[in-house]
Structure 1
Amino acid sequence: MTDPRRAIPSVSALLELAEVRELQQIAPRGVVVDAVRRVLDDVRQGAPTPAADAGWAARISSAVARAQRPSLRPVLNATGVVLHTNLGRAPLAESAVRAIRAVASGFSNLEYDLAGGTRGSRHAHCVGLLRELTGAEDAVVVNNGAAAVMLALNTLADGRDVIVSRGELVEIGGSFRVPDIMAKSGARLVEVGTTNRTHLADYERAIGPGTGAIVKVHRSNFAIDGFVAEVGVADLVELAASHGLPVLHDLGSGLMIPLDAIGLTGEPTAADIVRAGPTLVAMSGDKLLGGPQAGLLVGSAAAIERVRANPITRAVRVDKLTIAALEATLALYREPRQALAEIPTLRMLGTVVEELHERAHAIRRRLHPTRDVTVVATEATVGGGAFPTARIRSVALSIGGDAEALDARLRTGEPAVVGRISGGRMLLDLRAIPPRDDHALAGALSRALDA
């Protein structure tokens, strides 16, 4: 019997094919050679052997395209979770994108005082806006929310006890636990109360000579109902003041304005918390705030000055692109109506369901009429550790057939589309799809159904 592997061409033979030689004119030779070797390895491992040179060339071309595709790709978020952590959280406002572009292609005054002609500080940027919007005395920006919490704890209570309610020792995405962050800060965690009930007296009994701070943590992505009790930040501030202790409030999502107008209630704004008087408030830039990934610390001038002087601050500092995007995003909050209209996250959350219905039916009309695709009412969520119990009326395209296979084709298509499977059907929720992407979504779905 003839060994079929004898029919497999050599690397050099495939590189001499006309189509593959053309590939070497538009792609680095090393990439093409690696693609040829991968295709040959696949065949040796059992993949079908192309019947002709054209088949080999097509497979090599596909391998080259995959190798050159960026690992970070745009995705259409049809999950119904607006602030989806795995999909990059908040998309940026156009003004933030323009701000990034303005400073990315050249030099900037990142750490230079243009007025005085002397060295400046990157920590001077965004401070004025954060003071204006939150009412805090001072502010500092670092590269993510967890870093802000760790930095604050290290500054306020390194080597000392920090008191926190057991009901607030949360775990967020990726098995990332607040107690672990606290431990790495150098502070010693002291738990008080129970999972569902913590009283002011619990905190007071835990205060001792080794206490460095009292901490309150926003529960982020869950809520406790029923027989519950917790202590408000204002009461904690009063207790801490009587013992000469600082208070850190980890606010989480960074809500800057009330969202009652779009039906979301119950979350405190950053200004609400600052007015209650904690020493420091930590929040994220890329959740409800709608900006880039960043950790924001606002609070007393004395505490922020200590944070700036902490050597860890340099290790978690932000770059010029983050500063540019954050400043542009914060500026939109000077006029709340403008923020609701121009910050994509807020605009998505506020889109009326009737508009989603119209768009969904328009997309359905672009598909072949025989396809098993219907428009259905569904519920979306905020995500990003904000409004965990809120359910937002939404609309989705519901597609029948092999849901798992369709899901895979949508995820690996161009553009990539990520939806969800429910009741054996593929659902593509429009809540987090911008109207400008409706055409792209229709095309991606059509190609996936035809494949």
Structure 2
Amino acid sequence: MNRPAPQPVINATGVVIHTNLGRAPLSRAASEAAILAAQGYSNLEFDLGSGRRGSRQAHLQNILQELTGAEAALVVNNNASAVLLGLSALAAGKEVIVSRGEAVEIGGGFRVPDVLSQSGAILVDVGTTNRTYARDYEDAITQNTGAFLKAHASNFRVEGFTAAVEPGELVELGARKDVPVLHDVGSGSLLLTENYGLAHEPTPQESVAAGVGLTFFSGDKLLGGPQAGIVVGTRDLVNRLERHPLARAFRIDKMSLASLIATLVHYLRGEAEREIPIWRMISTPVQLLEERAISWQKAVQEIPGVHARVDDSRSAIGGGSLPGETLPTRVLSLDCSTVAGGAQQVMERLRKADPPVIARIEDDRVLLDPRTVSTRSDEELLQALTNSFK
């Protein structure tokens, strides 16, 4: 095999966090940090001060405390394992109360009820699909209640006649009944998404401020880093997770740890929008996208048989984040009627390019969205288009 696997591709779909294409691309600093961790030795689990064995988690503690306001933090290999670890450490053999509307399934068949079962916890679902109240949780409490679990419905939306219990309300009930509150916020956005014309996405900071015992979120979605599962919360609960045997089975590797730290540092420095690729894409003004789409159009007009125009369209956030939320964009829209096989044939040829170009089809036209294409890839993209219309 001469090509690397997985093979790099150009994402021209306009889906910013594309799960099938590797989710969030890393910043330059995060990529370089991973390379340094891979190429040599490091103080991964070595305390340079004492000369004794240290903890890989220590490298992240201060950063996550400062960013979220939490007392303590723990990082594992993905958010599914973070939730499983939390439930296993705190609620094995006990009942976990979940709103019926939050016993959800996310990508790859990952279901909250199945995770609860795997952890040894007992699911107690309360309320209805569309409406759940604090009294539903309170009425379900028994002597065997181990936790309240709140799960953000990150990949779908329930609208209309709805009611849900806010984390702070659950925390107040949990404090009265001595029941810890666990909150899976999903994508882990550390920035306010409404500042970018999007719906509000729950943040870890809000969960911590509400007094939630443990908050779980992903590293490779709206946080914009490598695959990781991050847990922040009270020191006593995080310590219980650290002592559980699954903590070693789920621990984060040295390269992901290094790139995650570099990603988090961007937030500390206030440079996330500029340095983290997904936030740079999300914050790109439509005018700049239009200018790039027009430059592509001018270039492809030189190709015989190509009829292109610049159209209005929408970019999706993707990755199970902000369901139904899109951003206005401008796309290169290709009329494929002169190609035998039409748009599907052009798409197939683009996938066979080097590097492959992944686009989308609407109304038998191939659309390419500059929002998710690095400017460094423009020449390769245009070469792929030239070859696709030969």
TM class by smaller structure: over 0.9
Distance 2:164 2:177 in 1: 20
Residue 256 of structure 1 aligns to a residue whose secondary structure is coil
Note the C-alpha offset of 1:293. Answer: 0.2
Aligned residue number for residue 98 of structure 1: 32
Note the C-alpha offset of 1:176. Answer: 2.1
Distance 2:346 2:310 in 1: 17
Where do residues 235-246 of structure 1 align in structure 2 (5 Å cutoff)? 235-246=169-180
TM-score, normalising length: structure 1 = 0.83
Distance 1:395 1:84 in 2: 19
Amino acid of the residue matched to residue 233 of structure 2? G
Aligned residue number for residue 231 of structure 2: 297
Note the C-alpha offset of 1:128. Answer: 0.9
Aligned residue number for residue 164 of structure 1: 98
Residue 136 of structure 2 aligns to a residue whose secondary structure is helix
Amino acid of the residue matched to residue 426 of structure 1? V
Structure 1 consecutive aligned stretches of length 4 or more whose deviation exceeds 3 Å: none
Residue 389 of structure 2 aligns to a residue whose secondary structure is helix
Aligned residue number for residue 108 of structure 2: 174
Which of residues 425, 433, 436 in structure 1 aligns to 2:373?
433
Which of residues 283, 286, 289 in structure 2 aligns to 1:353?
286
Distance 2:110 2:333 in 1: 34
Whether the 8 Å CA contact 1:212–1:245 is kept in 2: the answer is yes
Higher alpha-carbon deviation: 82-91 or 428-437? 428-437
Where do residues 41-190 of structure 1 align in structure 2 (5 Å cutoff)? 67-190=1-124
Whether the 8 Å CA contact 2:198–2:326 is kept in 1: the answer is no
Distance 1:183 1:426 in 2: 44
Which of residues 349, 354, 362 in structure 2 aligns to 1:409?
349
Where do residues 289-438 of structure 1 align in structure 2 (5 Å cutoff)? 289-336=223-270, 338-367=271-300, 368=302, 370-401=305-336, 402-438=342-378
Note the C-alpha offset of 1:299. Answer: 0.1
Residue 394 of structure 1 aligns to a residue whose secondary structure is strand
Aligned residue number for residue 219 of structure 1: 153
Note the C-alpha offset of 1:68. Answer: 2.5
Distance 1:202 1:389 in 2: 29
Higher alpha-carbon deviation: 110-119 or 96-105? 96-105
Distance 1:389 1:162 in 2: 30
Whether the 8 Å CA contact 2:353–2:384 is kept in 1: the answer is yes
Note the C-alpha offset of 1:262. Answer: 2.3
Higher alpha-carbon deviation: 255-264 or 420-429? 255-264
Give ranges in structure 1 of 5+ residues lacking alignment: 1-66
Identity value in percent:
49
Residue 123 of structure 2 aligns to a residue whose secondary structure is strand
TM-score, normalising length: structure 2 = 0.96
Q: Deviations over 1:142-165 (max 9, x none)?
A: 000100000001111011110001
Q: Deviations over 1:196-241 (max 9, x none)?
A: 0111111111111111100000001111110000000000011111
Amino acid of the residue matched to residue 385 of structure 2? L
Whether the 8 Å CA contact 2:193–2:200 is kept in 1: the answer is no
Distance 1:291 1:420 in 2: 25
1:200 matched to 2:134? yes
Q: Deviations over 1:60-111 (max 9, x none)?
A: xxxxxxx432230111111121001111110001111111122211101111
Note the C-alpha offset of 1:173. Answer: 1.4
Distance 1:233 1:280 in 2: 11
The structure with higher relative contact order (CA 8 Å, sep 6+) is: 2
Note the C-alpha offset of 1:400. Answer: 2.1
Aligned residue number for residue 443 of structure 1: 383
Distance 2:209 2:113 in 1: 26
Residue 201 of structure 2 aligns to a residue whose secondary structure is coil
Q: Deviations over 1:103-143 (max 9, x none)?
A: 21110111111111111111212111000000000000000
Distance 1:280 1:237 in 2: 11
Amino acid of the residue matched to residue 101 of structure 2? G
Distance 1:229 1:164 in 2: 14
Aligned residue number for residue 53 of structure 1: none
Whether the 8 Å CA contact 1:93–1:342 is kept in 2: the answer is yes
Note the C-alpha offset of 1:281. Answer: 0.2
Distance 1:69 1:389 in 2: 36
Note the C-alpha offset of 1:376. Answer: 0.9
Note the C-alpha offset of 1:257. Answer: 1.9
Give ranges in structure 2 of 5+ residues lacking alignment: 337-341
Distance 1:175 1:431 in 2: 29
Aligned residue pairs total: 383
Distance 2:11 2:228 in 1: 22
Residue 237 of structure 2 aligns to a residue whose secondary structure is helix
Residue 115 of structure 1 aligns to a residue whose secondary structure is coil
Note the C-alpha offset of 1:169. Answer: 1.6
Note the C-alpha offset of 1:185. Answer: 1.2
Note the C-alpha offset of 1:301. Answer: 0.2
Residue 205 of structure 1 aligns to a residue whose secondary structure is helix
Amino acid of the residue matched to residue 152 of structure 2? H
Note the C-alpha offset of 1:419. Answer: 1.2
Higher alpha-carbon deviation: 412-421 or 253-262? 253-262
Amino acid of the residue matched to residue 388 of structure 1? P
Amino acid of the residue matched to residue 379 of structure 1? R
Residue 182 of structure 2 aligns to a residue whose secondary structure is strand
